């Protein structure tokens, strides 16, 4: 579904990605793990069009998207839930969700139905729908951000730092919701610093280090990989 | 309303409407999109000179005013594509120097603009001075109505919604598919076009313009104070702010003539400290 090949990107003269290769299959939950500065967020920024890559290709459902504008990428079916939520804090939860549907042209009816679906997925958002998004707790904000991403009716949802700063119970709740979405046919690519959580959620995982994908495979394989255990899970 | 009232009030009313146009215009870029533009004086001066020069070459007054609006809009579009890549203070400073640059250009283009000697604008043929004053009052009212209409339409459109998102979180807006560059440039054009027309009307109204007059940096600063006073990003905030500001200017400052810029500075500081969302915030803070 998503095939990234030999992607190079960086900021100004500073290269960050040194030839990233990554493949996400349709119907998969894939996760991307790696330490700080490995290039995870940069890869996601390149994927969503916020940072034009220097070279390489990003093919999504047969369409080349490297260097395309964010709107085109979103239109192609890739939605991005950014690190740190990035909600419109002075706008209501409901307006934030509707903003997610900004590019859609399939009418108010379909958008209203999806809004209801989001409230079904995260019931707390229904209670909070008239509140300013800035007044939500961290977990609620993350739910709002995920729901906002979903409102564009994507086929691939990309989430940056899913669990960062959230209580474990909230992380579990989010993971449950993501699994449910996955069962309904959504493909997910999740960036996660907490490797244990990531490997539990995902079927496939990619490990990034200094701007490259250094290891990949099924979560099961990686969980038993001694090098991964030592570097990220704490070898016992 | 203007019939039968004396010239002072008519003049004040015209100024009030002009301030209203400046404030509503700044609201597009500063209030809605959140880009602190100091380019109002540039649009005002450019419009004033465009209108004046057009009339010097014999164009009818109203045509000259429209032309001034078009020139200001084109200028804003070109400027926007260059400047709106900057954010925050950098954008503010870059937009601030535009008026200075234009003033220097107008100063040196003596053949076209009269340079430092200024430019006389033909006085419209009308029965009396009072008729003229009334005419310019209605002209400025027309510009204000147009600007208000544009605010109304924008606020209810996708553009307005998108601009509010840009103001709150530009990268998130980008990510959700808002064409941020295009939207910001549109906001900048809207913030320029009516100011340009107002500048041209002003030039015709006062019959004589010179660079330090129409490129005065206060034309950049006053609209910001007015909008902050009234409530940034709101529909009526800029108008309320303009009325309030003009009242202050008339009632208080005339009594402190020598220190009135000091009072302006103090007012900005007090505003930012105690009323960052403007007068209208009182009403909105119910919940």
- Domain segments of chain B: what residues? 7-221
pTM above 0.90, yes or no: no
- Which CA distances in Å does B180 have to A82, A99, B103, B237? 17, 14, 30, 25
For position B5, what pLDDT does the model report? 60
ipTM over 0.85: no
* Closest to B119 measured CA to CA, from B230, B24, B204, B226: B204
- Which CA distances in Å does B115 have to B48, B49, B120, B217, B280? 14, 11, 12, 18, 43
What's the pLDDT tens digit per position in B157-199? 989 989 989 998 888 888 888 889 999 999 999 999 999 999 9
Kindly tell me if the per-residue pLDDT of B214 is higher than 80: yes
Query: Percent of chain A, pLDDT > 70?
Result: 99
For position A236, what pLDDT does the model report? 54
For position B257, what pLDDT does the model report? 74
Closest residue in B to A75 (Cα) is B177
Partners of A132 in the β-ladder: A92
Q: Report helix, strand or coil for A59.
A: strand
Residue A1 gets which letter from DSSP? -
Chain A hits for B179, CB-CB cut-off 8 Å, are 69, 71
Using 50, 70 and 90 to split pLDDT, how confident is the model at B2?
Answer: very low
Chain A hits for B176, CB-CB cut-off 8 Å, are 74, 99-100, 102-103, 148, 152
Cβ distance A70 to B162 less than 8 Å, yes or no, reads: no
Other Cβ atoms closer than 10 A to B287 = 6
For position B27, what pLDDT does the model report? 94
Kindly tell me if the per-residue pLDDT of B97 is higher than 80: yes
Using 50, 70 and 90 to split pLDDT, how confident is the model at A225?
Answer: confident
* Biggest alpha carbon–alpha carbon distance for chain A: 55
Cβ distance A89 to B168 less than 8 Å, yes or no, reads: yes
Using 50, 70 and 90 to split pLDDT, how confident is the model at B130?
Answer: confident
What's the pLDDT tens digit per position in A123-147? 999 999 999 999 999 999 999 999 9
Lowest mean pLDDT among A154-158, B48-52, B271-275: B271-275
For position B4, what pLDDT does the model report? 54
Across the interface, of A74, A88, A100, the residue whose CB is closest to B169 is A88
Cβ distance A91 to B164 less than 8 Å, yes or no, reads: yes
Using 50, 70 and 90 to split pLDDT, how confident is the model at B150?
Answer: very high
Nearest 5°: the CA angle B88, B89, B94 is: 105
Chain B residues with CB-CB distance to A under 8 A? 158, 161-162, 164-165, 168-169, 171-179
Cβ distance A86 to B171 less than 8 Å, yes or no, reads: yes
Which CB contacts under 8 angstroms, 24+ apart, belong to A109-114? Answer: A111/A151, A114/A150, A114/A151, A114/A153
Across the interface, of B161, B172, B178, the residue whose CB is closest to A86 is B172
The tokens describing B96, both together, are 């601030």
Partners of A64 in the β-ladder: A59
Lowest mean pLDDT among A52-56, B23-27, B143-147, B248-252: B248-252
Chain A hits for B172, CB-CB cut-off 8 Å, are 82, 86-88
Kindly tell me if the per-residue pLDDT of A118 is higher than 80: yes
Query: Percent of chain B, pLDDT > 70?
Result: 95
For position B286, what pLDDT does the model report? 41
**Cα–chain-centroid distance for residue B53?**
20
Cβ distance A90 to B161 less than 8 Å, yes or no, reads: no
Chain A hits for B175, CB-CB cut-off 8 Å, are 48, 50, 70, 74, 80, 82, 86
For position B175, what pLDDT does the model report? 84
For position A16, what pLDDT does the model report? 92
Cβ distance B177 to A152 less than 8 Å, yes or no, reads: yes
Section B152-159 average pLDDT: 92
**Cα–chain-centroid distance for residue A53?**
18
Cβ distance A86 to B169 less than 8 Å, yes or no, reads: yes
Taking one residue from A and the other from B, the number of pairs with CB-CB distance under 8 angstroms is 53
As a whole number of angstroms, the distance between CA B163 and CA B33 comes to 5
Q: B183 with B159: CB under 8 angstroms?
A: yes
Closest residue in A to B168 (Cα) is A88
Chain B hits for A132, CB-CB cut-off 8 Å, are none
Using 50, 70 and 90 to split pLDDT, how confident is the model at A86?
Answer: confident
Of residues B281 and A105, the one with the higher pLDDT is: A105
Cβ distance A74 to B168 less than 8 Å, yes or no, reads: no
Kindly tell me if the per-residue pLDDT of B43 is higher than 90: yes
Chain A hits for B177, CB-CB cut-off 8 Å, are 70-71, 74-75, 102-103, 152
Across the interface, of A69, A74, A91, the residue whose CB is closest to B176 is A74
Chain B hits for A70, CB-CB cut-off 8 Å, are 174-175, 177
Chain B hits for A100, CB-CB cut-off 8 Å, are 176
Mean pLDDT rounded to a whole number for chain A: 90
Q: Report helix, strand or coil for A36.
A: coil
Nearest 5°: the CA angle B109, B111, B114 is: 75
Lowest mean pLDDT among A146-155, A221-230, B9-18, B104-113: A221-230
Closest residue in B to A96 (Cα) is B165
CA distance B177 to chain A (A): 4
């Amino acid at each position: 579904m998503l095939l990234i090949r030999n992607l190079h990107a960086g900021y100004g003269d500073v290269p960050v990605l040194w030839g990233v290769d990554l493949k996400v299959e349709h119907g998969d939950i894939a996760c991307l793990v790696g330490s700080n500065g490995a290039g995870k967020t940069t890869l996601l920024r390149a994927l969503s069009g916020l940072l034009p890559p220097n070279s390489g290709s990003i093919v999504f459902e047969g369409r080349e998207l490297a260097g395309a504008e964010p709107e085109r990428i979103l239109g192609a079916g890739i939605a991005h839930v950014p690190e740190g939520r990035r909600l419109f804090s002075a706008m209501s939860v409901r307006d934030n969700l509707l903003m997610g549907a900004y590019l859609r042209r399939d009418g108010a009816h379909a958008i209203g139905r999806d809004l209801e679906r989001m409230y079904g997925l995260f019931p707390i958002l229904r209670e909070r729908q008239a509140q300013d998004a800035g007044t939500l707790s961290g977990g609620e904000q993350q739910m709002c951000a995920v729901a906002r991403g979903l409102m564009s009716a994507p086929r691939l949802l990309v989430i940056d730092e899913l669990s960062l700063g959230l209580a474990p119970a909230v992380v579990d709740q989010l993971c449950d919701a993501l699994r449910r979405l996955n069962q309904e046919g959504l493909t997910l690519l999740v960036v996660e610093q907490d490797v244990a959580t990531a490997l539990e959620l995902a079927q496939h995982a990619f490990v990034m280090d200094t701007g490259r994908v250094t290891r990949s495979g099924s979560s099961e394989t990686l969980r038993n990989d001694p090098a991964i255990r030592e570097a990220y899970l704490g070898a016992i | 309303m203007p019939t039968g009232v004396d010239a002072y009030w008519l003049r004040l009313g015209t100024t009030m409407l002009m301030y209203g146009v400046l404030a509503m215009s700044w609201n597009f870029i500063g209030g809605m999109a959140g880009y602190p533009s100091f380019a109002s004086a540039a649009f005002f001066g450019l419009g004033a000179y465009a209108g004046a020069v057009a009339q010097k070459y014999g164009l009818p007054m109203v045509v000259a005013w429209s032309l001034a609006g078009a020139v200001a809009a084109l200028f804003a579009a070109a400027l926007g594509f260059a400047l709106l890549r900057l954010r925050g203070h950098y954008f503010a400073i870059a937009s601030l120097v535009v008026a200075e640059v234009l003033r220097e250009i107008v100063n040196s283009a003596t053949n076209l603009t009269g340079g430092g000697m200024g430019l006389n604008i033909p006085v419209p043929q009308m029965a009396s001075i009072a008729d003229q004053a009334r005419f310019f009052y209605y002209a400025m009212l027309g510009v204000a109505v147009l600007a208000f209409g544009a605010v109304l339409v924008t606020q209810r459109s996708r553009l307005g919604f998108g601009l509010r998102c840009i103001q709150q979180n530009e990268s998130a807006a980008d990510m959700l598919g808002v064409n941020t560059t295009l939207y910001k440039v549109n906001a900048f054009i809207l913030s320029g076009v009516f100011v340009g027309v107002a500048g041209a009307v002003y030039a015709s109204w006062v019959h004589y313009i010179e660079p330090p007059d129409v490129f005065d940096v206060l034309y950049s600063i006053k609209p910001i104070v007015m909008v902050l006073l009234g409530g940034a990003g709101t529909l009526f905030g800029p108008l309320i702010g303009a009325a309030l500001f003009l009242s202050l200017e008339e009632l208080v400052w005339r009594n402190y003539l020598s220190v009135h810029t000091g009072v302006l500075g103090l007012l900005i500081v007090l505003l930012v400290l105690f009323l960052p969302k403007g007068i209208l915030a009182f009403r909105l803070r119910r919940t």
